[in-house]
Structure 1
């Protein structure tokens, strides 16, 4: 490698690093500002010029969140709703994505894309009417079923693209050896698609966990999920920035932990999914 190529390589790396910093720094700044707000009292939160470092740090905002909200119940509801929606979504979405990919049905792919692009708020009124007639408003089941509108299109779209990148020769060989199409799917296609399943599960979990509107409208008082705790930290008189930031941090924490623990699987899945034969 001559000097010119070396300089070009260095310049590309510097430009890439600058682009990453430019794109990521606002999100990091907002996260640390939320972290700062959650550990400061209201006097420091309303101070001008802003006080960034808490002096001293306080846990009063977190105490207020747990005292004024049934936070533990919201957390349990979130786990049940998100876990149920992701589990059912994977059970439905993986075979659906496989079938669309192997049959090369472009029209069904377009329908899935439209379902993915349609705002979830568009389904709210029809779902509310249906659940009201079935007396399911205010129950966890209403939230699980409504969250399938979010999870299934994501899972089907991700798995459809992933199965398209897998070679079909192994499945054909299994069929020749006497396997049924279902056995070929279970024993050949699904193990090969594990990285894609991880990605689909994590993405659907994130979108379902962060959903707010379905929880407020369909959840009622006892079946609301965790994002409702953020809403309950706001009032008509004023915004309590400390409890609001503490609630937002507690809602974000499970997603952050899952992403950190599964980052290797995410990278492996994205890398494997990008390989085409």
Structure 2
């Protein structure tokens, strides 16, 4: 049954309102990154203004944001890769052997607030002389990325028919060989989904990096705070830095949207 005219018009209007509500802050952020601080405070220049690239020059030249971009990418990539190496086999074992209690213990990390762990982590890692290095950032990001990957991949593996692996065993494969040659290739959409979401979390993480990073390992979300002073805020530089942080994630979400949708829905049905 097709939707009636008034309902269709209401649905279109509702979609427009929602999209504008989501996109308007992003558009304002991008526009403000090309304004001077004076123009940002001037409401008459909200739409029409003389654009300037001085804020981006300040970000890349004076603030050395290229170093922070490399730091964020390295921490996000390493934490995601290590979480996949550990989380995918763990999720497969828990799904195939009914390890519900073990899975519950792992997934409890998704419930524990990260802020409650900062003081113990700082105490432990400072005694190990790891605070300020890449290793402590990677490990702290894995604390959330690993349970997320296990949660996603468990549902995906439970949706794959066990008969495929059994046929591989009949043909002479070992259980590990069946997992590597049959199950793992079929679970590519789920792995892509878990990797994308884990990378986005690590890239956007602020709390862990604020406490555990150092001057040379500072990531982008923490580096943005350099534009916030005690007496004033450099809104132009802040908006330019925020645009640089947001742009890679928007591109990843745009081009990887189909993998995220297929990966999250693949484990919804079995058989």
For Structure 1 versus Structure 2, the TM-score category normalised by the shorter chain is over 0.9
Q: What corresponds to 1:6 in structure 2?
A: 2
Question: What is the correspondence of 1:157-236 to structure 2 with a 5 Å cutoff?
Answer: 157-236=151-230
* Structure 2: 5+ residue stretches without partners: none
For normalisation by structure 1, the TM-score amounts to 0.90
Q: What corresponds to 1:93 in structure 2?
A: 87
Distance 2:44 2:162 in 1: 59
Q: What corresponds to 2:77 in structure 1?
A: 83
CA contact (8 A) 1:42 1:241 kept: yes
RMSD over aligned CA atoms reads: 2.0
Distance 1:159 1:207 in 2: 17
23, 26, 31: which one pairs with 1:28? 23
Q: What corresponds to 1:43 in structure 2?
A: 38
Cα distance 1:141–1:175, how it changes in 2: closer, same or farther (>3 A)?
same
Distance 2:178 2:13 in 1: 47
Secondary structure of 2:82 counterpart:
helix
Distance 2:252 2:141 in 1: 19
Per-residue deviation at 1:255? 0.9
Per-residue deviation at 1:205? 0.3
CA contact (8 A) 1:39 1:54 kept: no
Distance 1:104 1:225 in 2: 39
Q: Does 1:265 align with 2:259?
A: yes
Per-residue deviation at 1:91? 0.3
Q: Which runs of 4+ in 1 moved over 6 A?
A: none
Cα distance 1:119–1:19, how it changes in 2: closer, same or farther (>3 A)?
farther
CA contact (8 A) 2:155 2:268 kept: no
Distance 1:88 1:50 in 2: 50
User: Is 164-173 or 254-263 further displaced after alignment?
Assistant: 254-263
Cα distance 1:192–1:208, how it changes in 2: closer, same or farther (>3 A)?
same
Cα distance 1:66–1:181, how it changes in 2: closer, same or farther (>3 A)?
same
Cα distance 1:93–1:66, how it changes in 2: closer, same or farther (>3 A)?
same
User: Is 207-216 or 192-201 further displaced after alignment?
Assistant: 207-216
CA contact (8 A) 2:227 2:233 kept: yes
Distance 1:185 1:12 in 2: 49
Distance 2:77 2:171 in 1: 37
Distance 1:218 1:54 in 2: 42
CA contact (8 A) 2:33 2:236 kept: yes
For normalisation by structure 2, the TM-score amounts to 0.92
Per-residue deviation at 1:214? 1.7
User: Is 14-23 or 190-199 further displaced after alignment?
Assistant: 14-23
Per-residue deviation at 1:64? 1.8
Per-residue deviation at 1:185? 1.1
Q: What corresponds to 1:251 in structure 2?
A: 245
Cα distance 1:50–1:227, how it changes in 2: closer, same or farther (>3 A)?
farther
Per-residue deviation at 1:145? 1.2
